Chains A and B, each alone.
Chain A
């Protein structure tokens, strides 16, 4: 089984095929949309986590590329620089997925990347600029 995070770019005026449906139905993949911003007349972007067998994963990627999507497997990543962090906790106020929380006892910052939906709200909320989006 493979589990990968993909950064998809939709060209403007693409056919808007139900790609998620096809990934599930035709390729037996489990897609999890982390974020999406798609408008019919503009370039769109979707960050997608996909789980499935290696063969199905590769076939699914080919399908996406055939649809005219740019597929970037090295999707962006959220990185917390612990040396810069002062544990103020301000990022936890904007983290809707509870990926960033404070330990109830020590009040130090905990980052559970599995819960992160890459909304980037913490990136601009952090006054220390200790949270960055890397590519």
Chain B
């Protein structure tokens, strides 16, 4: 009973497609069985809303008179990249402000732009024969920019670490405050709603996939940085550690501050919550089986962030259902848990993407090139070498 992308898209266009969120689909599969659910449903929507540090925007400011070839650029005192053409830049979400530090970073500039606020643009230049101006100080809004689009090199991590701290001191990390002596555990995944956990072997995902990015229609543009299909997997083929990632692209002008939120992790830095939603076609029973998995079926690995090494020791495994219960057990000790990825937002995103497909005929796109497949590439560390040794 296989369905094709064309058949599913034809049903979306005619308004006959049956679309469910991953949670709704799992409940249906539980009631009626995977076979019937696979037959009944055309598309399953997923969503996630967690901090994603590898995110940012390309901007084009337009030319001033006389024009400037911007070399050093600040937006509300946050440095943006000056190594592109005259008035192009890339602003990354983690870049801290030169005056306010990590409390206001690139992410906060992007949120201000999304909220329609004016942002101060300052730039300097060495001046050229064709770009004579050497400095500029002005204000811009999102509407003033020619182009403004997200290009996020790594979003929607497929599974993530559960973080604990074995030391005697609190640690301030990108996974939040980790209390001493296993005082808490934090985790960061939408679990059963998470996009890449629902298509664990990347059968339907790759460059060209149409997705939801921060409230805007966008695309998977490439594999994400650190995409690592080669990792431990459970009996369903689902990774039990951080694995696949996607790079995404979308129009900032079509995005919403409801689905993009600037963040600061104390003593770590600025970042942003990014809302990502991915529709997955129910092509056959195999994919339906992974779409039907619930938090009780999905496993994450617990790592000790108190160990300051690249390979932190794993101290156990736990399901997302256990994590959601608010308490897990590590070596017989009860440890309270706290999430970092917002489940209410993930649910909103999956529901909104479903609405796009049902009400606005948002069709699916078969990828032009699938993400690198299981077994295709290794994940390499960075070795510290000398020029001579290389």
Could you list which residues of chain A lie within 8 angstroms of chain B, going by C-beta atoms?
Answer: 86-94, 101-102, 106-108, 121, 124-125, 127-129
Contact = CB atoms under 8 A, between A and B. Distances in A.
A128 B184 contact: no
A94 B263 contact: no
B342 A86 contact: yes
B342 A87 contact: yes
A80 to B, nearest CB: 15
A36 B124 CA distance: 51
Contact of A129 (B51, B103, B336): B103
Given A93-B176, A94-B184, A127-B265, A86 B345 contact: yes
A93 B324 CA distance: 12
Contacts of A87: 342-345
A87 B190 CA distance: 13
Contact of B177 (A86, A88, A89, A121): A121
Give the secondary structure class of B's interface. Answer: strand
- Interface size class, chain B: 20 to 34
B349 to A, nearest CB: 12
A124 B265 CA distance: 8
A65 B150 CA distance: 59
B94 interface: no
B345 A90 contact: no
B344 A93 contact: no
A94 B266 contact: no
A93 B263 contact: no
B46 interface: no
Given A93-B184, A94-B338, A107-B344, A124 B177 contact: yes
Contacts of B265: 127
Given A124-B266, A125-B177, A127-B271, A93 B336 contact: yes
A17 B188 CA distance: 49
B339 A90 contact: yes
Given A89-B339, A93-B337, A128 B261 contact: yes
A28 to B, nearest CB: 37
Given A87-B342, A94-B179, 11 more contacts: A86-B49, A88-B345, A89-B338, A89-B339, A89-B342, A91-B338, A93-B179, A93-B186, A93-B337, A94-B177, A107-B324
